[in-house]
Amino acid sequence: MKTFALSPSSGAGSPDVAGFFDPQTSSVQYVVSDPATRQCAIIDPVHDFDEKSGATATHHADELLAYVNEQGFEVQWVLDTHPHADHFSAAQYLRERTGAPTAIGEKVVEVQQLWKELYHWPDFPADGSQWDRLFAEGETFRIGELEVRVMFSPGHTLASITYVVGDAAFVHDTLFQPDFGTARADFPGGDARQLWRSIQAVLALPDETRLFTGHDYMPDGRDPQWESTVREQRETNKHLVGGVSESDYVAMRDQRDGELPMPKLILHSLQVNILGGRLPEPEANGKRYLKIPLDALEGAAWE
């Protein structure tokens, strides 16, 4: 199984993109680097968690650090595209190891407010202070000499954003590979109509823009893939081809999402990820504990 691939720069203003696939969560983590300055950002890193034993580890995050060190990179940013529902974020661990600031879109405060109620955390500061920087729509920053533009992409979650770096765009869970389609929109705060409009904004980028997805579920048992182009998505994505209208898409998405169970780690992971990737603080016995609200979400396996 292919778990690493390098998508090289196409020239001035274009980043090198290294993708690392995690088979346990079907997630893709990225190291995005400027060839001219050897500076980089890490996007959507995974903190390992085994739900059966309750064990946590940093194997995947350490793999990213090893790659960064081997390449002689300097980490400038640790970036999340949204609060993930299927894995823990390793953003805080990497911040501690590298000193690089963490960042996410400013709409994360709306997600925090929603989950604060679900977890019954009355004293939780739902203000985004768990990250060093909250990005606004259209805001720009730099990875070395490369300009990065923040594009809000709500629908999968309230807080989803796309990072556009030269001819590369990191579209998280908005689009998957063309043979798998598009993201679900039935999580708390999700909206299929917003998702459709976010997809249209991504597809308005130049045709040869490289699109990097947050997951791959390997339909028909193929090897994992996570790179496509705007042209490929527009012409071959199974949920978008054939003259699909906004209303058609929303109806399809609503029907499909109504048949899906909730991700198995959604209640585990959100309480870590709305804290910027921080695990719960140890209690008096030195152990950390997750809090799982019962009967909080629809989508049970028997529904």
- Distances in Å between the Cα of 101 and the Cα atoms of 38, 73, 80, 127 are 17, 15, 11, 17
Give the separation between CA 103 and CA 106, rounded to whole angstroms. Answer: 9
Helix, strand, or coil (residue 57)? strand
Specify the pTM. 0.97
Is residue 52's pLDDT more than 90? yes
Model confidence pLDDT, tens digit, residues 115-154: 999 999 999 999 999 999 999 999 999 999 999 999 999 9
Model confidence pLDDT, tens digit, residues 244-260: 999 999 999 999 999 99
Give the separation between CA 179 and CA 171, rounded to whole angstroms. Answer: 16
Neighbours of 117 (CB within 10 A): 14
Q: What is the pLDDT of residue 2?
A: 87
Q: What is the pLDDT of residue 183?
A: 95
Model confidence pLDDT, tens digit, residues 83-115: 999 999 999 999 999 999 999 999 999 999 999
Q: What is the pLDDT of residue 264?
A: 92
Whether 136 contacts 112, CB under 8 Å: no
- Please compute, for residue 169, the number of CA atoms within 13 A of its CA located in the half-sphere on the CB side: 29
Q: What is the rounded average pLDDT for all residues in the chain? A: 97
Q: What is the pLDDT of residue 301?
A: 78
Q: What is the pLDDT of residue 238?
A: 97
Task: Give 179's pLDDT tier (boundaries 50, 70, 90).
Answer: very high
The DSSP letter of residue 220 is: G
Q: Which residues pair with 175 in a beta bridge?
A: 182
Q: What is the pLDDT of residue 116?
A: 97
Give the separation between CA 212 and CA 160, rounded to whole angstroms. Answer: 14
- Distances in Å between the Cα of 110 and the Cα atoms of 101, 158, 174, 215, 221 are 21, 7, 18, 24, 37
Q: What is the pLDDT of residue 299?
A: 82
Model confidence pLDDT, tens digit, residues 53-93: 999 999 999 999 999 999 999 999 999 999 999 999 999 99
Is residue 303's pLDDT more than 80? no
Model confidence pLDDT, tens digit, residues 19-40: 999 999 999 999 999 999 999 9
Q: Which residues pair with 50 in a beta bridge?
A: 55
